[in-house]
Amino acid sequence: MRHLNKAAGGNTLYRGGGSIAIIGAARSGLVIAQDPEDSDRRILAANKHNLSRAAPSLAFRLGTASNGAAHVRWGGTSTLTAGDILKEPADPEQQSALSEAKGFLLQELGEGPVAAEQGEKDARRAQISMRTLKRAKRALGVRSRKQGDVWFWESAQEKSEEDYSPNVGTLGTVGPLGKDANPNPAKSAQLREEGQGGHEPRCIHGFPDGAGCYLCDPEHPYRRRSEDRK
């Protein structure tokens, strides 16, 4: 059992006091912290669990027994995770500034992409700091895209040309190469099955007598050229 350190935010495995080797050696680790939305409620959540699937988080409150001792009153499961209950509390002032910056971006990009330089000018005019503006862009998924020498901002719903592949679809069947290739291998296969051509065909790839087939025709120019190199 360990107390939490003061390093709010980040990986929850580093929130326990002492060496990281303590939680590293454990197969299962649980964490208890205050419910961010209810100061009287506590959450018991899995912080590390590599023996099986992690169990749901449990909510509880501390009550007083008849003898004056504290007792636990369980309140069922909770959707809050270890990361939710250990994250750094949001500063109300910063949260308000972020909400304002999000509203500005939604209005700025409401009619389509906007030049980044113009967007920054409008943000300064609205008294929104560049730091808060960047946070709002990340939160909303606003993307920066360059056209020529100018950078533009566009909302996550906008589709740029780079999002579409010019090579959509499947390629047709690629037949044998070379001038002697048979243009209709299906018909040749039918002739082979019917025994046409005067004698038993020797090609197993759909060409009568192996004509035009690199593998079956010993007189094929590609094959003779390869043998000449040897």
Nearest CA-CA partner of 26 in 46, 9, 43: 46
CA atoms within 13 A of residue 1's CA, in its CB half-sphere: 1
| Average confidence score pLDDT of the chain | 75
Reported pTM: 0.40
CA distances from 132 to 125, 155, 177, 191 (A): 14, 17, 61, 75
Per DSSP, 121 falls in state H
pLDDT of residue 102: 87
Domain parsing of the chain, residue ranges: 12-86, 92-163, 185-229
pLDDT band for position 195 (cuts 50, 70, 90) = very low
- Across the range 139-147, mean pLDDT stands at 85
For 11-62, how does the pLDDT look when each residue is reduced to its tens digit (9 = 90+)?
788 788 888 888 888 888 999 988 887 888 999 999 888 888 888 999 999 9
pLDDT of residue 162: 46
For 58-105, how does the pLDDT look when each residue is reduced to its tens digit (9 = 90+)?
999 999 988 989 899 999 998 888 888 888 666 666 667 888 888 899
**Does the pLDDT of residue 107 top 60, yes or no?**
yes
* Residue 4 vs residue 184, higher pLDDT: 4
Nearest CA-CA partner of 104 in 92, 89, 121: 121
Which residues neighbour 71 within 8 Å (Cβ) at sequence distance 6 or greater?
62, 63, 64, 65
pLDDT of residue 206: 59
Question: What Rg do the C-alpha atoms of the chain give, in angstroms?
Answer: 35
- Across the range 156-168, mean pLDDT stands at 50
Q: Options 1.10.10, 3.30.460, 1.10.3470, 3.30.920; which CATH number does 92-163 get?
A: 1.10.10
pLDDT of residue 57: 93
pLDDT band for position 200 (cuts 50, 70, 90) = very low
pLDDT of residue 199: 45
